[in-house]
Amino acid sequence: MQRSGSGWFETFLNSHINVSSNGEIFSVGRRRTNVSSILETMDQVYNLDWFSSASKNECSAAVGFKWMLNQGLMEHHEEIGEYFERRRVSIIFLFRKNLLRRMISVLANAYDKDAKALNGTHKSHVHSATEAKILANYKPRLNITLLIPELKIMKETAAKAITYFRNTRHIVLYYDDLVHNRTKLKDVQEFLRVPYRDLESRQVKIHTAPLSEQIENWDEVQEELTGTPFQWFLGKNSQIQ
């Protein structure tokens, strides 16, 4: 899903000399207009090393791309699943455990598309603490009525995706774990069957403060989630009752 650390994670992958991830290819609408265009687009990506010169000086042991769940993947999961099995594609599911923090990131990113706080330009990812601080200044106000229903939809969508592709070779990662435990990147390299390397990224995390400092109507959000299965999203700020 968007704002789950996929851009950050992909920079780690592409820092590996034998890995080539080609970005969010299905963000272009015409590539996902129907299942035929989806399969044709995937063929082009997976055949890149055969028809074009290598982008790196070493051979590519793993070639892939980033695919958001709302970009045709769920609607055509049966045909895509068959394609994955036929071409022996592997899946790295990257989700975010704290869906409330993801919500904050989504709203802040949407706001900056209009506000363009960084010298009149919009940036979804930043490479300096100064830029991160500027973007983190915005504190969204959450719609309390839709809060729990939207959190439920996010959780259910992730679970459904794993169910749809349970027969495809896959690994499930969580952004939250990667942030606190970089050894997870070793698990990823083992999964991709590539030589181990120290992976790196220049991206800087934008929202690092406690949620109480990032949400305008924090008291309302805390009251709404307390006593629900989503209470733990509040972090150390929550009052256990």
Write down the pLDDT at residue 182. Answer: 85
All residues at 6 or more sequence positions from 113 whose CB lies less than 8 Å from its CB, including other chains = 122
Does CATH number 2.60.40 belong to domain 6-237? no
**pLDDT of 55 over the 80 cut:** no
Write down the pLDDT at residue 124. Answer: 87
Task: For Cα atoms 41, 155, 180, give the angle at the middle one, nearest 5 degrees.
Answer: 90
Mean pLDDT score, 64-83: 97
d(CA 8, CA 126): 10
- Inter-CA distances, 78 with 25, 26, 65, 104, Å: 20, 17, 19, 32
State pTM to two decimals: 0.90
Write down the pLDDT at residue 239. Answer: 42
Write down the pLDDT at residue 42. Answer: 96
Write down the pLDDT at residue 49. Answer: 65
Write down the pLDDT at residue 50. Answer: 59
Closest alpha carbon to 112 in 147, 144, 143, 139: 139
Mean pLDDT score, 35-51: 87
Q: Which residues pair with residue 173 across a beta bridge?
A: 94
Q: Which of 52-61, 86-95, 179-188 has the lowest mean pLDDT?
A: 52-61
Q: For residue 161, name the pLDDT band (cuts at 50, 70, 90).
A: very high
Alpha helices in the chain (DSSP H): 6-14, 35-46, 48-51, 77-86, 99-115, 129-136, 144-164, 175-180, 184-192, 218-225
pLDDT > 90 fraction of the chain, expressed in percent and rounded: 83
Averaged pLDDT score across all residues of the chain: 92
Q: For residue 68, name the pLDDT band (cuts at 50, 70, 90).
A: very high
Mean pLDDT score, 107-135: 90
Contact 101, 213 (CB under 8 A): no
Q: For residue 238, name the pLDDT band (cuts at 50, 70, 90).
A: very low
Contact 84, 95 (CB under 8 A): no
**pLDDT of 47 over the 90 cut:** no
Q: For residue 241, name the pLDDT band (cuts at 50, 70, 90).
A: very low
**Other CB atoms within 10 A of residue 119 CB:** 8
**pLDDT of 201 over the 90 cut:** yes
d(CA 65, CA 67): 7
**pLDDT of 230 over the 50 cut:** yes
d(CA 135, CA 60): 36
Q: For residue 240, name the pLDDT band (cuts at 50, 70, 90).
A: very low
d(CA 170, CA 65): 14
All residues at 6 or more sequence positions from 65 whose CB lies less than 8 Å from its CB, including other chains = 21, 22, 23, 24, 25, 26, 45
d(CA 194, CA 17): 10
